[in-house]
Amino acid sequence: MIGIKEYNKKINSLKNMRKMTQTMKMVSASKFKRAHKAQINAKEYAAKLSELVARFSRSGTDNNPLLKVKNVATRILIILFTSDKGLCGGFNNNLIRKTRNWMKENHHKYTAMDMGFCGRRGYMSFRRTARIQKYYENITIKPAFSDALSVAQDITAAFIKEEYDEVYLSFNHFNGPLSQVPVIEKILPLDASALINSDVKYQSAYYAYEPRENEIFSFLVPKFLNFKIFFALLENAAGEHGSRMSAMDKASQNTADLIDRYTLLRNRARQAAITTELIEIISGAEALK
């Protein structure tokens, strides 16, 4: 039977753990506020950029190499976005599980599936089983556009050289601190027609463009891809901090519940010990009579 001393050790350990989880929650809340603000600002820009690309895609896209669709896609690249650190609930595990299942379901369609990684957790999970194209270290902690540009240039160059027929992004779509949805989205070849919003009525008036409309579109496509990668990094950062904040809050609540439970058990053990001592004293006194 556990004694009072052991209960005290458990309670003190749980109190220290609660302090740690509460501190981590506060740190994550501060980081989440900044990451969420950056994600919101980028979301507005992404919507306008997508609308602009969709508008100019009507001018014809046959000569753009980033929109070239192969009749049969045999080689693909998957860029997986995860966090570098853990303790963020199912943020990484849900995405990794979805990516594994997607690869198993579609492996018969392709002869080669390579992977690139933004985030240590994804790399550590697939490093022994996947064909690794590249691992981008330390770019998910604090997303920077220069890091996104490096990733976009690598996948764009590989696609133009026909090393891959399709490129996919696997990331957590940010809906809120309590909701991140794993998404696998094809980014190359770019389907500009999919960006057209059916709710928006584009005006049919004629405009004079300088330079030409198709040249503007060719300029916008790489910019769109660069920002698409950057936006995925921002969503990954916001989701990571939001998920960790929620996980640490839940851990603090669970720790408090355990402290209450062990405190009750310790008090019962103390009461039982006192009762036993009283019985022994009374029994001894009775024996002396």
Q: What is the CATH number of the domain that holds 258?
A: 1.10.287.80
Q: Is 20 contained in some domain?
A: yes
Is the pLDDT confidence value at 287 over 90?
Answer: no
Cβ atoms of 257 and 105 within 8 Å: the answer is no
Is the pLDDT confidence value at 53 over 70?
Answer: yes
Per-residue pLDDT, averaged over 172-180, amounts to 85
Q: Is 31 contained in some domain?
A: no
Cβ atoms of 51 and 201 within 8 Å: the answer is no
Per-residue pLDDT, averaged over 184-213, amounts to 66
- Domain that residue 12 falls in: 4-24+248-288
pLDDT, one tens digit per residue, over 217-240 is 778 888 889 999 999 999 999 999
Residues 93 and 221 in one domain: yes
pLDDT, one tens digit per residue, over 59-73 is 555 577 888 888 888
DSSP-assigned letter for residue 166: E
Cβ atoms of 92 and 83 within 8 Å: the answer is yes
Q: Is 277 contained in some domain?
A: yes
Residues 14 and 108 in one domain: no
Q: Is 34 contained in some domain?
A: no
Q: How far apart are CA 56 and CA 229, in angstroms?
A: 21
Is the pLDDT confidence value at 134 over 80?
Answer: yes
Lowest mean pLDDT among 42-56, 224-238, 269-283: 42-56
Residues 185 and 274 in one domain: no
Q: How far apart are CA 220 and CA 74, in angstroms?
A: 28
Q: Which of 246, 262, 277 is the last residue of a domain?
A: 246
Residues 93 and 157 in one domain: yes
**Residue 276, H or E segment:** helix 213-288
**Lookup: tokens for 31:** 């980081």
Handedness of CA 231, 234, 238, 240 (dihedral sign): positive
**Lookup: tokens for 61:** 């896209």
**Lookup: tokens for 261:** 């439970």
**Full-model pTM:** 0.82
**Lookup: tokens for 189:** 């070849």
What's the confidence (pLDDT) of residue 1? 60
Residues 105 and 20 in one domain: no
Is the pLDDT confidence value at 198 over 50?
Answer: no
Residues 169 and 253 in one domain: no
Residues 115 and 128 in one domain: yes
What percentage of the chain's residues is helix, strand, coil (to nearest 5)?
65, 15, 25
Residues 75 and 110 in one domain: yes
Residues 113 and 218 in one domain: yes
Q: Is 67 contained in some domain?
A: yes
Per-residue pLDDT, averaged over 26-42, amounts to 88
Q: Is 124 contained in some domain?
A: yes
